[in-house]
Amino acid sequence: MTKTRAIVITGNGTNCEMEAAHACRLGGFDETIIAHIAELLSGEIRLDDFHFLNLTGGFLDGDDLGSAKAQANRLRYARVDELEEHLLEQLLRFINDGKLILGVCNGFQLMVKMGMLPGFDGDYLAQRTTLTFNDCGRFQDRWTYLKVDPASPSVFTKGIEKGIYLPMRHGEGKFLCDSAATLERIEQEHLAVFKYSGSDYAAPTMEFPLNPNGAQNAIAGICDPSGRIMGLMPHPEAFVHYTQHPRWTREQLPEEGDGLILFRNAAGYARKNLK
């Protein structure tokens, strides 16, 4: 049986790689490595050897050109001379081979800036959405309730009945589409996997601070039509054990945190469907 392998990219300002790797291991991947972007650019490590790519949170390149824009350009245009190909060729091959990608916070910002999401009609290079400054005008660090769309094709959210509770920490998390047509298609195809809500997960909300950034249609995360590529602003890797919950000393909680199911679903999918 082929071992399931996950890779977590670090470097240039990411800061959640250890948590993401731990979540992959807890979720059931046989092997997880943390790789610096320089190791990919040198050809020392290749995406082809993995099943699950994690693009983590942080402040890529200091967000000096806007959140994750510099890294998006790096992944799009950088050449791996030793392999005589661009890194983008590896990334697109990874997607076309049916593998999994999860982008969290800065990683989600990277994915939309590249055009990887929403990935309409197999086009992973056309930017149709963005993540911009929070409506409140400042950085937010709080916990959020995320209503899940049960009709979503997302591989990662299978088994989630109503929603999950996750921490978020960002200054540029407001999701916006380039047109009403893009937003309509995201909604019609159930690609808006997560939406900010109240604690009952009954309905999406635009109310601050439940919706901490003013995201369009309260969207906190989206996937592509295949369901294998997903990004979200809150941090699932930051809640995989009950001791990470803000009220763990005052409430009786399950041992597993709400975020772990995303990584467990990824591992299960990889084990069943990928070689």
Burial of residue 240 (number of CB atoms within 10 Å: 0-12, 13-18, 19+): buried
pLDDT digits (tens, 9 = 90+) for 115-154: 999 999 999 999 999 999 999 999 999 999 999 999 999 9
Whether the full predicted model's pTM is greater than 0.95, yes or no, is yes
36 noted as active-site residue: no
Domain ranges of the chain: 5-273
User: Annotated catalytic residue: which of 24, 170, 177, 235?
Assistant: 235
Question: CA 54, CA 12: separation in Å to the nearest integer?
Answer: 15
Please give the distance of CA 186 from its chain centroid, rounded to a whole number: 16
pLDDT digits (tens, 9 = 90+) for 71-80: 888 888 889 9
194 CB-near residues (< 8 Å, 6+ apart): 146, 147, 148, 149, 157, 163, 164, 219, 220, 221, 232, 234
241 noted as active-site residue: no
User: Annotated catalytic residue: which of 105, 170, 223, 245?
Assistant: 105
3-state DSSP helix/strand/coil % of the chain, to nearest 5: 30, 25, 40
User: Annotated catalytic residue: which of 17, 19, 172, 237?
Assistant: 237
Q: Assign residue 28 a region (left: φ > 0; alpha: ψ between -120 and 50; beta: otherwise).
A: left
Q: Does domain 5-273 have CATH number 3.90.1300.10?
A: no
**Residue whose C-alpha is closest to residue 7's, from 42, 33, 25, 40:** 33
Residue 1 pLDDT exceeds 70 = no
